[in-house]
Amino acid sequence: MDSHTLFYELKRLLKSNKKQYMSFFIGVFVLLAGILLLPSLLTDNMENTNHKNNSKHPKGNPAVFELYIEYDTGNTFTNTLLLEQAMKTDELIQNAEEQTGVEISELLDYEEQTDYLKTAKDRGVLGASRDSDSNIWIFSSAVGTEKENLAVINYYYELIENNEIELLENKYLYMMSKPRILSDEDLSSPTTLVEQSASQGFTLKNILISVVLSFVGALVISFVLLIIKTFFTKKIQYAFNYSWSEEDIFTISTETNRKTVQQMLNHRHYDKVLYLSQEPKLLPFDELEAVDTLAKAESIEEVVLFVQPQITDKQWYNQQKELLKLFRLPIKIVQINN
């Protein structure tokens, strides 16, 4: 099938099924929008709950301290994943909560549930980031108020001082600074290695992106659904519902070119032409002189096979094509669109 025929038939499909396309579009749009917006909505609700629970304790600037870690071979330790896993074992988190009175595990669970996007500078409520130039680690805590952040970071500072983190037991540790609260100036500095955790909830930007993606996705998916639907009907509806060989001559007859197609059929190169149609009485052509049975196949020189959308069965068409393979005759396929 050439691109012109495919485009014409797809256009006809859309034009003939406007209401159904709109039904598909609305359904798919609502579904996609729900899928895309639900995580943000849940995040927003959880954040609102957290804000209500902590309304008397607004979130403060992160607390940090700096550390240089070296293997006994003299090589620098650089594995962020291992270090953060060692910091966040269930045992350490439970001890930190007991000693500081700060709820940490709930915040970590929240990050996991919402697939919080961590970056080199934003390690979430509790983590460590490394300066790639100096290889100095910055341990950070952003679990709540500045007092709570400092309490938690002090807990980890003492753990490291007392060599109580298993991963670091066989390594050389050099404390580069004491625990402290980062100032607003520190956080706004282009060279800062710690960024404030940004809200990823129900923002206007998220809504607009989700709506645009849902709209485009619904346009495409609804059209694909319309196409797929045509393959599950018994009747041929469009040219892409059936096939023909490269040797066959294919044409589409519409109301605008009906006379031209009639002239083409009457202007034959062969004397004996077989016209095949599942419903011959419904053909819009007159005066077609033809051999009308396969019993006279020995005298046939050409075959014209009529396909009538919504009338011709796919099974009938396929049967005719299989039978005609036995005769190896020139075949013209005329699809009659009303």
Task: Return the pLDDT at 15.
Answer: 93
pLDDT at residue 298, rounded to an integer: 60
CB-neighbour burial class of residue 161 (10 A; exposed 0-12, middle 13-18, buried 19+) = exposed
Neighbours of 40 (CB within 10 A): 18
pLDDT digits (tens, 9 = 90+) for 202-242: 567 778 888 999 999 999 999 999 999 999 999 999 999 99
Token pair 């039904």: residue: 23
pLDDT given at position 302: 87
Alpha-carbon distance of 59 to 202, in angstroms, equals 19
Q: Per residue in 262-283, pLDDT tens?
A: 887 777 677 788 889 898 888 8
Instruction: Compute CA distances 229 → 93, 114, 232, 237, whole Å.
Output: 55, 37, 6, 10
| E strand or H helix at 276 | strand 273-276
The pLDDT value given to residue 85: 93
Taking the CA atoms of 104, 108, 114 and 117 in sequence, report the sign of the dihedral they define: positive
Tokens of 12: 């006809």
Rounded distance between C-alpha atoms, residue 332 and residue 310, angstroms: 20
Which segments in the chain show pLDDT lower than 50?
50-57, 198-200, 289-295
Q: Which helix (H) or strand (E) holds 125?
A: none
Q: How high is the pLDDT of residue 207?
A: 84
CB 277 within 8 A of CB 212: no
Token pair for 101: 């009175």
User: What local confidence, expressed as pLDDT, does residue 292 receive?
Assistant: 46
Cα–Cα distances (Å) from 114 to 38, 62, 109, 338, in that order, read: 11, 21, 9, 54
Task: List the one residue out of 201, 197, 198, 205 whose CA is nearest residue 46.
Answer: 201
| 208 class by beta-carbon count within 10 Å (0-12 exposed, 13-18 middle, 19+ buried) | exposed
Please name every residue paired with 69 in a beta bridge, in sequence order, or none if there are none.
Answer: 173
